[in-house]
Structures are given as structure tokens and as C-alpha cells.
Amino acid sequence: MIPLRDTTPSRNYPVVNVAIIAVNVLVYLLQMAQGPHLERFIFMYGLVPAKLSIPELADRLSLGQQAFPFFSFMFLHGGFWHLLGNMWSLYIFGDNVEDRMGPLRYLAFYILCGLVSGISHLVLNWQSPIPTIGASGAIAGVMGAYFLLFPSSKVLTFIPIFFIPYFIEVPAFVFLGIWFLLQFLNAAGGPAGGGGIAWWAHIGGFAGGMILLKLFSRMPESGLTKRVRPRTERHKSHRLQSIHTTGLRDDADIYGSIVITPEEAATGTQKIVNVPWGFHNRLVKVIVPPGIKEGMSLRLQGLGKQLGERKGDLLLKVLVQGHG
């Protein structure tokens, strides 16, 4: 299952979340520039429990050399696909959590989730000489917060079945619950000594994110956050939207709705919609003309039901939501 996006739109542009993604990408490029010194770089800035637990190694390092990896490890990655998977998950779930918490609280929350995940791995792999790297633990904390904040949200998920693309909406609590269960099963069945993926860091980050959310929710918004929010307000709806269709038995046409903002209604826009009807499931490009009004409908020919010789159409009712 490959998550594409969630169904809960964020009201504000996630400036901190995007900045975190950018920093991760830049650090990865720095990693790749190390060439033959990459392993030394990873050992130096990754989280290595043995640096603290083995006296022969710990005595050779300064306090700063021992402490800084608790921060730097969460910006390193083991390869391109490791980076891509982490950043994609952060892109999907992080914007909503930042939207609810505000940029400053979200930044502190993210760093603390990464720290909690690192400590979880350290405690359970105390003498491991293997460096732990990756943003997975911090992102797991974000996912834990999302699990509590948006229980009714859904995740539009891509599932390839016999080379046929299939798209379904999975409730977020089911998607994240399955993810957490897989982390626990892998951690329980994994080898001792911290080899392979740091499953306990993921579990610690997820649980830590849920606990930290409760603590951060008691903190008031800063004055800076209140000043930033109007400047980061979104003026576009999701480009990819999932359409829930309805129809009558004797009517070949099917009906749904598409969400746009007032700015998009005035200037026009293009969307990609996922149109399900029985086993019919595909992505369709929709052109919204400028000047369209709330309640008007867009007709997509040939996307309805087949009744006898007639192929029905899909009629999308336009919903204009957001601030003007």
C-alpha cells in the first residue's frame, strides 16, 4: 500500500514541515559528497549506542561529540529510497499536525519526537556499535499525533493489483494502526543487538508523539504564530481529490462533488480526481473554468454507468470552500 494523501486539508501552508524536508534533502546531498569517507561520516553523526556504553570508545569523545548525534542522526538517511519514503510520509501527515499546532510548537515537537525515538533505541540496544540514522522516529511521532488529532480522516492509498492501479480510501486510524502493529511485530521478531532497521525507535517515536501532543496542547500559541498564520493561509485546494459518487438505478449519470477555493473559482484551475464506481476506478483530469460559481456542475462525458446503449456522464457539483 502506497499512501498518496490524506483527505483532511490543511488551512495553512506548512512552512516548517517543508523546511524540515528541505534540510533532510540537503543533508543527504552532503552525505553523498563524502565519497569514500561516508562510513566515517555516518559513524560520527549517526546515533551509536556504543559511543556511550563502551568506556574505551566513550573516553575518546568529547561531550559535544556524544550529544550532537542525538540531533544529527534524524537528518541522515541510508539511501535515496529511505529518504524518499520518510519525506513522503512527512509530507502527507506533517502539514495537518503543523496546521493544528502552529509552526513553532510543531518544530519543537518534531525535534523532541526524534530525540525520544533515539533514546528508545539507545536504551534497548545499549552496546550496539551500529549507527542508527533516519527521520523515521521523528516522523513516527508526527504520525502518532495525527492518529489522535484526525481520527475521522482517511488516507487515499494506491494498491497495484495484477498491474492494475487501484485506489482506495483507508481510515487514517486503520492505516496508522496497521503501521504501528507492523513496527511492533518486526521489533519483537528482530535480531538482538540493534541490527537492521531501528524498529524500537519507530515505536518510541510513535508513542512519544502521542504523549508529547497532550503536553503541547496545553501550551498557548505564541504571538509569532498568530502573526504568521494569515501569511501562510492556503489559497488552493488539493490537486488530487477522491470523488464519492452516487446515482439512481435507472439513471446512467453519476454524481459527485469537487472542492475548490474562492481564488480557484475566480481564476480557474485543474484537478486530478479519483473516480470510483464498482470496479471502475481511474484518475481523471478535470478543468475548472474561471468564473465558476458555488453549486454549478461540471460534466465529464462518458464516465457514468452503461445502461443499454447509453453511456452516462459524471456530474461534479462545485463546492467553494476556504477564505476569499
State the Cα–Cα distance between residues 96 and 108, nearest whole angstrom. Answer: 16
**Given its phi and psi angles, is residue 221 left (phi above 0), alpha (psi -120 to 50 degrees) or beta?**
beta
Instruction: Give the CATH number for residue 99.
Output: 1.20.1540.10
| 82 and 154 inside one domain | yes
213 and 251 fall within a common domain: no
- Going residue by residue through the chain (324 aa), what tens digit of pLDDT does each one get? 788 888 888 888 999 999 999 999 999 999 999 999 999 999 999 999 999 989 888 888 888 899 999 999 999 999 999 999 999 999 999 999 999 999 999 999 999 999 999 999 999 888 889 999 999 999 999 999 999 999 889 888 887 777 666 778 889 989 998 888 888 787 766 554 444 567 888 999 999 999 999 999 888 777 777 788 788 888 888 888 888 888 888 888 999 999 999 999 999 999 988 776 554 467 789 999 999 999 999 999 988 888 888 889 999 999 998 754
What distance in Å separates the CA atoms of residue 252 and residue 303, rounded to the nearest whole number?
A: 9
Residues 6+ apart with CB under 8 A from 208: 112, 113, 116, 117, 120, 141, 144
- Contact assessment for residue 261 and residue 322, using Cβ atoms and an 8 Å cutoff: yes
172, 200, 231 - which closes a domain: 231
Residue 290 and residue 276: Cα distance in Å, rounded? 26
Measured distance CA(206)–CA(184) in Å, rounded: 11
223 and 89, same domain (yes or no): yes
Q: What number of other Cβ atoms are within 10 A of residue 278's Cβ? A: 7
Do 170 and 259 sit in the same domain of this protein? no
Residue 271 belongs to what domain range? 240-320
Which residue, 190, 208, 231, sits at the end of a domain?
Answer: 231
Examine the domain organization and report whether 303 and 198 are in the same domain.
no
Query: Same domain for 131 and 261?
Result: no
| pTM for this predicted structure | 0.84
Dihedral sign of CA atoms 278, 280, 285, 290 in order = negative
Looking at 197, 231, 265, the residue that finishes a domain is: 231
* 167 shares a domain with 26: yes
Residue pair 190/196 in contact by the 8 Å Cβ criterion? yes
C-alpha cell at 173: 486510524
- How many domains in the chain? 2
Q: What span, in angstroms and rounded, lies between the C-alpha atoms of 237 and 148?
A: 24
Residue with cell 449519470: 253
Q: Cα–Cα distances in Å, from 312 out to 304, 305, 306, 307?
A: 4, 5, 6, 8
Q: Are 104 and 193 found together in one domain?
A: yes
- Same domain assignment for residues 196 and 305: no
Output DSSP code: residue 230. G
CATH number of the structural domain spanning residue 247: 2.60.260.20
**Predicted local confidence at residue 281, as pLDDT:** 60
